[in-house]
């Protein structure tokens, strides 16, 4: 058996299956082009070799860790350049993991734990990101000036020991590294995604819905600090160490569990763990008919509150007594619609947005009082209005307001309907009504990230940047691993513009753009802050990108539309935007 020490690079195309499903030929052609025109030439230039490819992935080997890392950086830069003119939902993005290890050699192939670790690191990387093992970091120290973030020890699938991982970052500003977040003064908890033991993908929405609803109900307690669903769900389908999760999220308590479906029956296991001691506060098994699962959710929530915050007043406990869905099939379909609408927002996918609308409308045909379906319609139509997709904006705004209002007529406690009705009212320039909706939503659920960001935006856009910035920073703390943090960064970027604090605006804008490079609002406010600094070269570059990816968005704002409230802010925004556009022409 032949062995040698190698630097191993594992690369994989992000979202390949989804892209193939949407447009097979375009995807296969684009991926093949990236591998042929970007990956292979970079590997050759840095003295490596492509060991093998498998459609959407590649395994590469180098004699030097330094050259492996340099090659990975060059690949990511080349992929980004090649995808710049393409809409974000069709853009090829790659994630990369790098490890140095002793490998087994068989012909042209290589095997062993070292190869597996590179692949596992790759699977943890963000789109466009590079993760290094600690051994690689040691080998390149002092040889490459490259900013790294210490991600701490990570448990990798099928790898027995935890391994330290490092993320390569570009030269945009990065948030301060916090290896361990400080515990809040309030009892703090994260609800991890439950395992679907039936392994039937059609049950995923139901299983995830249980965790989401428990999180929502806990979030309503002002005496608790509850980690947002988006951050908790980054641990989905991963073997995790509860204590490590608690450190990464900055909480004391963790709820985990599993669901096994059999026809109309569900067996739900749940356990609450004190991460400081590692002890179980309670564990319970529930056997339930799916229509009665809301009794289970309520009991889980009540027992968590009793265990971690026994001083909670009866008035807060009473909020658990909420309206139950009249038709479970409608509720289940609405859960799927909400999940699709959320993904449509992240991906900028108008077709998925329309699919979510169709599913929500089907849920309403089964049950006209389905609040989740009405909230989904308000959310999806607001997206159409905000991003100028689908219906004419005026019609999309009207539908978002209509469905949000209808949901609130049925249940005044439906805070998500209130958030997205408020967001639609904001686009309609009815600022006072929108701000009232967002404040009411926050009162109903002070831990919800979407609500905090919506209210934070409304306040900074109205000129109250002190309160707005505080809420936006709170949203980032409640969801420290959120893949949608760019929403908060966008609002912070806008708030910095309102304060004429252009340097900080550029920092916030670049943070958000690194996470979501094709998001029109953040490009817009980043351009304004660059222009405010007098950096017209960068401002014009942002405007040029905005003109490629969202021309209607840009033209509407050049024509005078603004989401800012105060006349002086609106005038300054328009003046700087037109200057940047002239420079880009």
- Kindly calculate the radius of gyration of the chain based on its CA atoms and give it in whole angstroms: 24
CB distance 289 to 519 below 8 Å: no
Domain count, the chain: 4
333 and 470 housed in the same domain: no
Q: Residues 338, 339, 344, 347: is their CA dihedral positive or negative?
A: positive
Per-residue pLDDT at 175 exceeds 50: no
- pLDDT bin (cut points 50, 70, 90) of residue 173 is very low
The predicted model scores a pTM of 0.64
Q: What is the CATH number of the domain that holds 84?
A: 3.30.70.1230
Confidence at residue 180, expressed as pLDDT on a 0 to 100 scale: 46
**Interval 232-236 mean pLDDT:** 86
- pLDDT bin (cut points 50, 70, 90) of residue 90 is low
DSSP class of 36: I
Residue 363 lies in a domain: yes
Q: Residues 435, 441, 446, 448: is their CA dihedral positive or negative?
A: negative
Residue 182 lies in a domain: no
Residue 335 lies in a domain: yes
250 and 155 housed in the same domain: no
302 and 329 housed in the same domain: no
Give me the count of residues in the chain. Answer: 585
- Taking only the tens place, the pLDDT of each residue in 440-489 is 999 888 888 999 999 999 999 999 999 999 999 999 988 888 878 899 99
7 and 56 housed in the same domain: yes
Cα torsion for 463, 465, 467, 472, to the nearest 10°? 120
Per-residue pLDDT at 507 exceeds 70: yes
Residue 173 lies in a domain: no
225 and 341 housed in the same domain: no
Query: Which residues touch 75 (CB under 8 Å, ≥6 apart)?
Result: 11, 38, 39, 42, 94, 96
Residue with tokens 């980043």: 526
Residue 156 lies in a domain: yes
Closest CA relative to residue 18, chosen from 108, 121, 93: 93
Residue 175 lies in a domain: no
340 and 312 housed in the same domain: no
413 and 453 housed in the same domain: no
Residue 183 lies in a domain: no
- pLDDT bin (cut points 50, 70, 90) of residue 246 is confident
Q: How far apart are CA 33 and CA 159, in angstroms?
A: 33
Q: How far apart are CA 195 and CA 252, in angstroms?
A: 21
Domain end among 405, 438, 471 = 438
- Which of 55 and 532 is assigned the larger pLDDT? 532
DSSP class of 158: T
**Lowest pLDDT segment from 18-22, 190-194, 557-561, 578-582:** 18-22
Confidence at residue 176, expressed as pLDDT on a 0 to 100 scale: 36
Query: Which residues touch 85 (CB under 8 Å, ≥6 apart)?
Result: 548
215 and 127 housed in the same domain: no
Tell me what percent of the residues of the chain surpass a pLDDT of 90: 40
**Interval 5-12 mean pLDDT:** 94
Paired tokens of 558: 């050049």
Which H or E element spans position 131?
Answer: strand 130-133
314 and 196 housed in the same domain: yes
455 and 411 housed in the same domain: no
**Lowest pLDDT segment from 7-11, 94-98, 302-306, 511-515:** 302-306
Three-state SS for 240? coil
**Lowest pLDDT segment from 276-285, 287-296, 351-360, 429-438:** 287-296
CB distance 60 to 42 below 8 Å: no
Domain end among 293, 322, 351 = 322
**H-helix segments, 166-292:** 204-219, 229-232, 242-249
User: Residue 168's beta-bridge partner residues?
Assistant: 130, 148
134 and 217 housed in the same domain: no
CB distance 54 to 79 below 8 Å: no
Q: What is the CATH number of the domain that holds 500?
A: 1.25.40.10
Residue 181 lies in a domain: no
Confidence at residue 523, expressed as pLDDT on a 0 to 100 scale: 94
Full residue range of the structural domain in which residue 518 is found: 446-585
Confidence at residue 174, expressed as pLDDT on a 0 to 100 scale: 37
Which H or E element spans position 72?
Answer: helix 65-83
Domain end among 438, 463, 489 = 438
121 and 192 housed in the same domain: no
């Amino acid at each position: 058996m032949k062995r040698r020490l190698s630097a191993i690079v594992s690369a994989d195309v992000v979202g390949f299956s989804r892209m193939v499903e949407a447009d097979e030929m375009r995807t296969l052609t684009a991926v093949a082009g990236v591998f042929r025109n970007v990956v292979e030439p970079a590997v050759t230039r840095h003295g490596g070799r492509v060991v093998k490819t498998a459609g959407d992935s590649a395994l590469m080997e180098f004699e030097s860790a330094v050259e492996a890392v340099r090659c990975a950086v060059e690949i990511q830069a080349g992929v980004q350049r090649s995808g710049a003119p393409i809409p974000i939902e069709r853009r090829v993005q790659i994630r990369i993991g790098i490890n140095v290890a002793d490998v087994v050699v068989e012909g042209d192939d290589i095997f062993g734990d070292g190869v597996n670790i590179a692949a596992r690191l790759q699977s943890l990387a963000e789109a466009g990101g590079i993760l290094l093992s600690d051994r690689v970091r040691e080998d390149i120290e002092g040889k490459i000036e490259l900013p790294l973030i210490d991600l701490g020890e990570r448990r990798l699938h099928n790898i027995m020991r935890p391994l330290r991982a490092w993320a390569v970052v570009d030269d945009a500003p990065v948030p301060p590294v916090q290896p361990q977040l400080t515990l809040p003064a309030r009892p703090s908890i994260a609800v991890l995604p439950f395992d679907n033991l039936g392994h039937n993908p059609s049950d995923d929405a139901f299983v995830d819905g249980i965790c989401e609803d428990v999180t929502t109900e806990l979030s309503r307690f002002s005496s608790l600090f509850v980690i947002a669903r988006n951050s908790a769900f980054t641990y989905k389908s991963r073997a995790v160490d509860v204590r490590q999760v608690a450190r990464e999220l900055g909480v004391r308590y963790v709820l985990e569990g599993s669901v096994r479906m059999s026809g109309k029956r569900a067996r739900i296991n749940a356990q609450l763990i004190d991460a400081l001691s590692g002890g179980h506060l309670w564990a319970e098994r529930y056997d339930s008919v799916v229509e009665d699962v809301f009794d289970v959710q309520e009991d889980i929530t009540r027992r968590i509150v009793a265990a971690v915050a026994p001083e909670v007043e009866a008035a807060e406990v009473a909020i658990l007594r909420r309206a139950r869905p009249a038709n479970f099939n409608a509720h289940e379909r609405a859960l799927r619609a909400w999940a699709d609408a959320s993904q449509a927002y992240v991906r900028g996918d108008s077709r998925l947005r329309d699919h979510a609308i169709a599913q929500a409308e089907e849920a309403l045909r089964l049950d006209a009082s389905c609040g989740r379906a009405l909230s989904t319609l308000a959310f999806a139509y607001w997206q159409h209005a905000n991003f100028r997709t689908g219906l004419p904006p005026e019609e999309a705004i009207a539908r978002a307001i209509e469905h949000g209002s209808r949901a609130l007529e049925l249940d005044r406690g439906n805070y998500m309907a209130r958030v997205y009705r408020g967001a639609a009212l904001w686009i309609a320039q009815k600022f006072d009504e929108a701000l009232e909706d967002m404040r009411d939503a926050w009162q109903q659920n002070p831990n919800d990230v979407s609500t905090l960001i919506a209210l934070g935006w409304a306040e900074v856009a109205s000129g109250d940047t002190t309160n707005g910035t505080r809420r936006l920073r709170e949203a980032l703390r409640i969801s420290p691993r959120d893949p949608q943090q760019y929403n908060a960064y966008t609002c912070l970027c806008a708030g910095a513009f309102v304060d004429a604090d252009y340097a900080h605006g550029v920092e916030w804008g670049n943070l958000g753009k690194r996470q979501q490079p094709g998001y029109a609002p953040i490009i817009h406010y980043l351009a304004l802050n660059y222009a405010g600094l007098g950096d017209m070269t960068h401002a014009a570059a942002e405007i040029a990108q905005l003109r490629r990816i969202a021309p209607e968005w840009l033209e509407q704002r050049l024509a005078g539309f603004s989401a800012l409230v105060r006349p002086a802010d609106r005038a300054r925004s328009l003046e700087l935007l037109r200057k940047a556009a002239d420079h880009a022409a």
